[in-house]
Amino acid sequence: MAGTLFRTKSIDALLADSESAAEGGLKRTLGSFALVALGIGAIIGAGLFVRTAAAIAERAGPSVVYSFILAGIGCAFAGLCYAEFASIIPIAGSAYTYSYVTMGELIAWIIGWDLVLEYAVGAATVAIAWSEYFNKVLEYVGLHIPYEWCHSPFETMVGSPGVHGIVNIPAIAILFLMSALLVRGTQESAFVNNLIVITKVAIVVMVIAIGWGFINPANHTPFIPAATTYTTHEGITHAYGGFMGIVGAAGVVFFAFIGFDAVSTAAQEAKNPSRDMPIGILGSLVVCTILYVLFSYVLSGVATVEDFRTFGKEASVTFAIQKYMTGYAWLGKFVTVAILAGFSSVILVMLLGQSRVFYSMSRDGLVPKVFSELHPRFKTPWKANMLFFVFTAIFGGFIPGDIVGEMTSIGTLFAFMLVCAGVWMLRVKRPELPRAFRVKAVPVVCTLGILTCGLMIFGLGLPNWIRLGVWLAIGLVFYFSYGKSHSKLEKSGSLR
């Protein structure tokens, strides 16, 4: 029994399958620039424009800058491991595929199920943020969506406790549009993403450059607030300030760093995966970490912590510009529109990653065949895209952004820990495999990656640990009731 649960896939068979799938499966259309843009498209989004303000308000104050540095360090370790894995195994599936090769089927199932938190729930998180900025754009032209129709039923309006949300309709709408675009084709989606990425990187740089002159030193004093607690108006208590505030904030914003992870899910669609994957993963990570640190320093210096706890909680960047950056009201409007486009690209990349993970799991027999059925013309897993639209719409329409955002963070961190362990195990088991990219000092890098990500999971607190445990328990029920008996390794009698 234990042997069948931890049977592994053959790397040689995987690589052979990759070549045979090239003719009738996913198209190899993405070059290194498209992959870097894909990563930037995922990284620069809700983590920067929404979750930064939440981390400032509820966890760290201006010391959120250190939180981004901590998150960046964890990403660097995990990113190096992802780069080596992706250069060896150019297969769609990301950490799921890597775990199947190194740690066995049960662990692969767990991580594949966990990746639903990382990608699908992550897409819902960004869709909720998209809704906030979309409402701001409507205000510019004299329109407004009532609070009830752009918030979850578990949220109440700040200053008006009698007003509750019903369903977040704009969040559902953008999820549908991005899902439909992915059905049309990866190449077309990447082209749209490239245009959006160029625009939003320019906007981020502009806000940093202009906002630097509006930093109020008082807002950075003290830079690390004294350790205490903060209770939100919904009654949720967080550690605020001090070391635990920094660690907790790092966990909150970490989900925005999954861009290089999403790049690895597209390995089977890369033109030259052994060269392009490390460039796409590490290139997007370096660019975005620098921008995160600078942007968070400016945002925490322009507006106050209290702003982000009250009326500046939603569409926080636009709020800070309009209230404090005198003479730049035009920039606030311009940024709002650009952020909308930026969030769209993040949703696009996350939905892309999710469908490709389940594409791989379906080809292995662990989830139903419908998830690997390709469109006869577009060669995309269109049924999977539509099924995940329904799933993400439930989260985006009915669950508060803070909850889904932290679920995504803890799922991402857990996946990164397994990847760090997996690359070390593969070095021991198969040292002879050709590696276009090799991590230096594997034991040190992998250990530090596991410890750093584990520290941030600890900082997210007990409620998030419980949510992760419940989610994984549900996944195990699905595995033992369907996945194990339908596994292709089970049917073939393979045991490695």
Instruction: Tell me the two tokens of residue 82.
Output: 């992802």
Torsion (CA) 146, 152, 155, 161 in degrees, nearest 10 = 30
Burial class (CB in 10 A: 0-12, 13-18, 19+), 436: middle
More confident residue, 435 or 455: 455
In a domain? residue 433: yes
Average pLDDT over residues 138-153: 90
Strands 228-231, 237-240: pairing kind: antiparallel
pLDDT averaged over the chain?
Answer: 84
**Position 460, amino acid:** L
Torsion (CA) 125, 415, 277, 421 in degrees, nearest 10 = 160
pLDDT category of residue 23 using cuts at 50, 70 and 90: very low
- Is it the case that residue 190 has pLDDT exceeding 70? no
User: Which among 71, 1, 84, 50 has a CA at the least distance from the CA of 437?
Assistant: 84
Strands 160-164, 237-240: pairing kind: unpaired
User: Which among 303, 274, 263, 313 has a CA at the least distance from the CA of 438?
Assistant: 274
User: Which pLDDT tens digit goes with each residue over 287-332?
Assistant: 888 899 999 999 999 999 999 988 888 888 889 999 999 899 888 8
In a domain? residue 26: no
Tell me the three state secondary structure of residue 496. coil
Instruction: List for the chain the helix, strand, coil content (%; round to 5).
Output: 75, 5, 20
Q: Cα 278 vs. chain centroid, distance in angstroms? A: 18
User: Which pLDDT tens digit goes with each residue over 251-286?
Assistant: 988 877 776 666 766 666 777 776 777 788 778 888
pLDDT at position 266 is: 66
Query: CA 243, 244, 246, 247 torsion: positive or negative?
Result: positive
User: Which among 95, 107, 126 has a CA at the least distance from the CA of 5?
Assistant: 107
In a domain? residue 496: no
- Measured CA to CA in angstroms, residue 325 lies from 63, 116, 407, 423 at distances of 22, 39, 34, 47
Residues spanned by the domain of 413: 32-489
User: Which pLDDT tens digit goes with each residue over 391-412?
Assistant: 999 999 999 888 888 888 898 8
pLDDT at position 348 is: 83
Domain of 317, CATH number, reads 1.20.1740.10
Instruction: Tell me the two tokens of residue 299.
Output: 């945002």
In a domain? residue 146: yes
* Cα(260)–Cα(324) distance, integer angstroms: 34
* Cα(319)–Cα(332) distance, integer angstroms: 8
In a domain? residue 21: no
Q: Domains in the chain: how many in total?
A: 1
- Among the residues of 255-328, which ranges form H helices? 259-265, 273-302, 305-309, 316-324
In a domain? residue 7: no
Instruction: Tell me the two tokens of residue 473.
Output: 């328990």
User: Which pLDDT tens digit goes with each residue over 68-106?
Assistant: 989 988 988 888 888 787 777 666 556 787 778 778 888
Instruction: Tell me the two tokens of residue 136.
Output: 């701001």
In a domain? residue 8: no
The DSSP result for 203-267, as a single string, is HHHHHHHHHGGG--GGGGSSSSPPSEEEE-TTS-EEEESHHHHHHHHHHHHGGGGTHHHHHHHTG
In a domain? residue 462: yes
Lowest mean pLDDT among 33-37, 125-129, 295-299, 418-422: 33-37
* Cα(316)–Cα(324) distance, integer angstroms: 12
